[in-house]
Amino acid sequence: MVYALLADAAMVVHFAFLAYLVCGGFLVWRWPKMIWPHLAAAAYGLGIAVIGWPCPLTWLEEWARARAGQEGLDPGGFISHYLTGVVYPAEHLPRVQLAVAVVVVLSWIGAWFARRRARRRPRSPSSTPH
């Protein structure tokens, strides 16, 4: 039971990471310092998708599911098991990856414009007691 919970927790964290990878750049619009963890997440996601780096969350989920006596993930890993062929057809994977990249880049461009606009805005006078 503990291994099944660990596998499910790895799956949930994996989905959270993917959501952050896709949408985290929009957090930078409000909190500019969030660019650094998002850049790291995007670089790692790119490394997994393009270079084929191993994902520790996939490994953890596979390991825990095997010990829980459950069926493992598809050979392609987390994305092919939970998303490709489930959320979108397998033949659209390259388009989905491109769409994710476009959303990330657009979020960073929007963050750059938001930061630029914030720098141009006059600051309100400090409220000091008289």
57-84: b (≥16 Cβ within 10 Å) or e: bbebbbebbeebeeeebeeebbbebbbb
Measured CA to CA, the distance from residue 78 to residue 62 in angstroms comes to 9
The verdict on pTM exceeding 0.85 is: no
**Tens of pLDDT along 112-121?**
999 888 888 7
- Reading the block at residue 30, the tokens are 């409000």
Looking at the chain, the whole-number percentage of residues with pLDDT higher than 70 is 94
Measured CA to CA, the distance from residue 82 to residue 96 in angstroms comes to 14
